[in-house]
A and B are shown apart, each in its own frame.
Chain A
Amino acid sequence: MIATQGLTHRYHSKNGVLSHEIVFPDLAVERGESFLLLGNSGSGKTTLLHLLGGLLRPLTGKIEIEKIDIASLSETELDRMRGRQIGFVFQRNHLISALTVKNNLLLAPFLAGEKQHEERVDLVLDELGLREKKNAMIFELSQGQAQRVAIARAIINKPSLILADEPTSALDDKNCDQVIELLNKVAMENNAALIVATHDHRLKSRLTKQIIL
């Protein structure tokens, strides 16, 4: 469902004089497949995820999502594609703290321009064991719970691709296990492709398909 060809990105140093290019390996991930994107800090994992999610335009190369070259999309079309097809999970600070759990989840269909179904919210929260947190504020959640809410938000629009950037590195072992398991599970259930960028060694044994940068 997503395939890349000859992706490169140019980094600029702070003073803008020095720059270096990074060349990413080609990859192809189908629906229902889970990949681990491994690499040291600074190896470009986040950059690659942002390129795949259309948050960043590549220097050269081609990204196809569902056979559509995303370079051909306008900014607005890209926004819409991102809202409907892609679910992001970040390391932390990714929930809107002014909103309740429920409204954080409803924000996803609202921003993607889709219908908001409260039953879908209930269903997803149930699935992630967060039913009683529906009306809680974000600051009332533990880190593990917050990460599960983030997963719930990533899948509420039934995306075809889930991109997770260091989803477990701020979590303890127990929560780490739970989160990766849930990510895997919901990706399978929604028949979505899953790419997890991490340097967290605890995950190596959980996902066997790996891309190393």
Chain B
Amino acid sequence: MSIQQLIWNYLKAKKLNTGLNILLLSLGIAMITLLILFNNQLEEKMTNNSKGIDLVVGAKGSPLQQILCSVFHVDFPTGNIKLREADRLAKHRLVKYAIPLALGDSYQGFRVVGTNRAYSSIYQADLASGGWWEKDLEVTLGSAVAHLTKLKVGDRFESAHGLTKDGHAHDENKYVVRGILKKSGTVIDELILTTISSVWKVHEEQVINHNDQMPISPSLLVPSVEAGDSLREITSLLIKYKNPIAAIQLPRFINTQTSMQAASPAFEMARLFMLLGVGADALMGFAYVLIFISGLSIFIALYNSLKERRYDMAIMRSMGASRGLLFKTIILEGSILTFIGASVGILLGHAVLVFFVLIMEEGQKMGLSAGIFYVEEGVILAGSVVLGIFCSLLPAIQAYRVNIHNVLAGS
């Protein structure tokens, strides 16, 4: 017999009560855990995805849409910008590097991105098999694309217009898979990378530039075309500042002096989080209400069981138990109960995420992982134990004060 065994037997003797309290607490904790997992991983993803991109330049429109489209690849472009203008901006003295993007097509919901190798290098992407895209209509697949579409090196496929699975198919020009990337945990896992001119080629009814010769003075962003080409357009330009002054001057310059629009990922994301934060806060609040109710329920359970156990307590005192031991027993019982509830809740939160990732394609696309434990979860566990101690304090004080004689004499 030990104090743990004694408590365990008491908890076991009231299976229904114990189970209900654990369930109630674990639901609240699971909800908080899930929110923590989502929030942290989304934030990590967002920072990882916008690393190396200080500014996105595109056609005028919604800046948030521009960021969602060109950095996270979840929205549609705001329009196109002239390659000639983009070229001019890329040469600006405050620009460290500028990466062109040409968007428009997708394959089974995965976006085809016309760009250059600089794009894959900002995500430090590595090849898992095959090679990099070089010629037109060659593509390199992100790991999630390869995994979910089952495409292999050498396979051919045709892209569809838009981002949906059943867009108009461009069946005249087929892409060929040159290589597949290693998993990087960034947005590039969900992209199909190719050259800018491939995207042009797929969309042009008649190919404008028929000669395959190298241009005399190539464009900075797309070397396969002549600099100053007045017809070619791209979707957007990802810019890295050369120095901090650029952060002040460049966006203003672009927004006032050109027909293009500049949007900062950091700023737009902060704005988005502020808007979404209300929903997350509401869920968090609901979770805290659940935890509060379970705390109350544990308190009531302990308080009621104490009434039934007054006799037990007096008997134990008659057998030599000190007041302190009874106090400790009740406190431990409360905290063990909340500890179990919190542990179950945390595991439940992770289990829900495992389920989400397994069942929903979106979960896999987002690259969420249920195997990561955050410091906050440790804090929750510790907090729950504190909650248990708090809820059992009053019953424990009553146990401490049990008047043995009165209880045993039945008066």
**Contact surface of A with B, Cβ cutoff 8 Å:** 46-47, 50, 53, 55-56, 75-76, 79-80, 82-84, 88, 90, 93-94, 96-99, 103, 106-113, 116, 153, 165
Given A56-B405, A98-B12, verify A103-B5 contact (CB < 8 Å): yes
Contact A83 B10 (CB under 8 A): no
Stretch at the interface among B25-33, B312-320, B357-365: B312-320
Number of A-B contacts (CB under 8 A): 78
6 A–B pairs (Cβ distance < 8 Å), ordered by A: A55-B404, A83-B319, A88-B315, A94-B315, A110-B2, A111-B319
Instruction: Determine which of B5, B9, B315 lies in contact with A90 in the assembled complex, contact meaning CB atoms within 8 Å.
Output: B315
Does B323 have its Cβ within 8 Å of any Cβ on chain A?
yes
Contacts of B323 in A (CB 8 A): 75, 79
Interface core residue of B13, B315, B404 (most chain A CB under 10 Å): B315
Given A97-B13, A98-B10, verify A112-B409 contact (CB < 8 Å): no
Contacts of A165 in B (CB 8 A): 408
Does B311 have its Cβ within 8 Å of any Cβ on chain A?
yes
Least CB distance from B370 to A in Å reads 37
Contacts of A56 in B (CB 8 A): 404-405
Instruction: Determine which of B9, B10, B322, B408 lies in contact with A55 in the assembled complex, contact meaning CB atoms within 8 Å.
Output: B408
Instruction: Provide the main secondary structure of the chain B interface.
Output: helix
Does B1 have its Cβ within 8 Å of any Cβ on chain A?
yes
Given A46-B409, A75-B323, verify A98-B9 contact (CB < 8 Å): yes
Contact A50 B317 (CB under 8 A): no
Least CB distance from B72 to A in Å reads 56
Closest to A14 in B: B411
Contacts of B42 in A (CB 8 A): none
Complex CA–CA separation, A112 to B325 (angstroms): 11
Given A98-B10, A106-B1, verify A55-B316 contact (CB < 8 Å): no
Does B321 have its Cβ within 8 Å of any Cβ on chain A?
yes
Contact B1 A103 (CB under 8 A): yes
Given A106-B1, A110-B2, verify A47-B319 contact (CB < 8 Å): no
Interface core residue of B10, B320, B323, B405 (most chain A CB under 10 Å): B320
Complex CA–CA separation, A56 to B318 (angstroms): 11
Counting contact residues on chain B (CB < 8 A from A), the size range is 20 to 34
Contact B13 A98 (CB under 8 A): yes
Instruction: Provide the main secondary structure of the chain A interface.
Output: helix
Does B20 have its Cβ within 8 Å of any Cβ on chain A?
no
Residues of B391-405 at the interface with A, using a CB-CB cut-off of 8 Å, are: 404-405
Complex CA–CA separation, A98 to B17 (angstroms): 14
Least CB distance from B98 to A in Å reads 73
Contact B320 A103 (CB under 8 A): no
Does B300 have its Cβ within 8 Å of any Cβ on chain A?
no
Complex CA–CA separation, A33 to B405 (angstroms): 25
Contact A82 B1 (CB under 8 A): no
Contact B405 A111 (CB under 8 A): no
Contact B404 A111 (CB under 8 A): no
The 5 residue pairs across chains A and B that have the minimum distance between CB atoms: A83-B320, A98-B13, A106-B1, A112-B320, A110-B1
Contacts of A46 in B (CB 8 A): 408-409
Does B6 have its Cβ within 8 Å of any Cβ on chain A?
yes
Contacts of B315 in A (CB 8 A): 88, 90, 94, 96
Contact A107 B322 (CB under 8 A): no
